[in-house]
Every structure is written in C-alpha cells, then in structure tokens.
Chains A and B, each alone.
Chain A
Amino acid sequence: GESVGLHLPTLSVQEGDNSIINCAYSNSASDYFIWYKQESGKGPQFIIDIRSNMDKRQGQRVTVLLNKTVKHLSLQIAATQPGDSAVYFCAELNYGGSQGNLIFGKGTKLSVKP
C-alpha cells in the first residue's frame, strides 16, 4: 500500500541553527500534506500544511517545501530553539482505506542542544 516515510529517525542541532526534517512519500496522486509536532506526553500538534498545487508555504519560523518531481517533503525550522525539541511527523492525505484518512510517517526526533 501507499506509505509515508522519513529519511532520518533522529536529528540533533545546535540552538539557533536551522533544522531541516525530510519526508518521502510514495503516492504521486497525494495532494495534501501536513506536518505535526509531538512533544513528550502530548498529542501531535498541527504545525503547517501544504496542498500539491504549491511548492512552498511559510509559517512562523517554519517553512514546508514540496517537490512533487521526487515526491519529497521537508520542514525547515529557522533559529531552532530548545522548545522545538520533539518528534515531527509528516502525514499524507489518503482518500479512504484501512490506513485512515491520513497516513503518518514514523517520525523524526529533533533534539536541540543549548
């Protein structure tokens, strides 16, 4: 079946540096993607989303890039802070199927060193 995967399970960055978290998706027909942040002991928190008719979308300190040619999604976090330490999931819209309406990747753990 279709799936969303992450290249790196862990990422360690220095406070103040920029972070880039990557995600590969396999369904070229997917048209909606979401990034979630999950802190320890909490539920996933919506960060930013992007539709397939866009290749870039910016939020507050975060930017999502979509490259449909290579089926690649990335989340860039500017000036990473200790509060950004969490697990980040990308999710792909799935129209039905036993995997649900959103297919989640396994997550990347971001650790920010002070």
Chain B
Amino acid sequence: KAGVTQTPRYLIKTRGQQVTLSCSPISGHRSVSWYQQTPGQGLQFLFEYFSETQRNKGNFPGRFSGRQFSNSRSEMNVSTLELGDSALYLCASSVDRWETQYFGPGTRLLVL
C-alpha cells in the first residue's frame, strides 16, 4: 500500500505570495492532519480534516487554510506569505480520527 504523498517536495516563494500544498493520504484513510515543523517550534498542529470537514484547528492565523476532497485528498493554502512561514509542512493520515497517524515526506517551503 502506498504511503502518504505530498507535492511539491520543495518550494521557494517570496513574501506576499500565496502557496498551495497537496497531500494524498494512504488508501482507506479518512482523516488528514497538517503540521508545521520548524527548528525552533518543533511540530505544531495546523488542522485536521475528516469527511471533508475541518474538525480541529491549531493556533495559526487565518492566512493558513485547508480543505479536504471527497477522495480524502487534502490541500492547504497559505496566503500573504511571511518569512516566518518558512518550514517543513507535514501531512499525516489515519484510518479514523484518533488512530495512529502516518506521515508523508513533507513539503519544504522557503520564503524569501
């Protein structure tokens, strides 16, 4: 069974731009969570989607948004990028909401 896939793997943007990241969960997994990982803050929860609905949201500004499609694939969007948004963005999927999460390789975003 294929693992969680994320595209693109690397991205360079400039301040003020917006970006969309994509995540394809493991087949059969219905829950998708997104995390931001930085050296200073570690793994921080962004949001969780289940059955196309956002079920939970972390403490991030409204510039961070996401959605989930009927096939469980998910996207996250960051608008008006700031230098501090440079990070590794990780997507994790699980069969159900409170089950083991399996992570993708991440998308490394660099904001210049």
**Cα–Cα distance between A3 and B109 once the two chains are bound (Å):** 27
A102 with B101: in contact, given A43-B90, A96-B56, A107-B42 (CB under 8 Å)? yes
A32-58 to B contact mask, C-beta < 8 Å, 1/0: 101010000011111001000000000
A80-109 to B contact mask, C-beta < 8 Å, 1/0: 000000000100010111111110101100
Question: Of B48, B56, B105, which one neighbours A43 at CB under 8 angstroms?
Answer: B105
**Cα–Cα distance between A9 and B16 once the two chains are bound (Å):** 35
A43 with B58: in contact, given A95-B98, A100-B33 (CB under 8 Å)? no
Question: How large, as a class, is the contact surface on chain B?
Answer: 20 to 34
Please state if B45 and A100 are interface contacts (CB–CB under 8 Å): yes
Distance in Å from the Cβ of B21 to the closest Cβ of chain A? 13
Which of A's residues lie within 8 Å of B, judged by CB?
Answer: 32, 34, 36, 42-46, 49, 89, 93, 95-102, 104, 106-107
Q: Can you add 20 more A-B contacts, CB < 8 Å, to A43-B104, A43-B105, A49-B100?
A: A34-B100, A34-B101, A43-B4, A43-B90, A44-B90, A45-B103, A46-B103, A89-B43, A93-B98, A98-B59, A99-B45, A100-B33, A101-B33, A101-B56, A102-B33, A102-B101, A104-B42, A104-B43, A106-B42, A107-B42
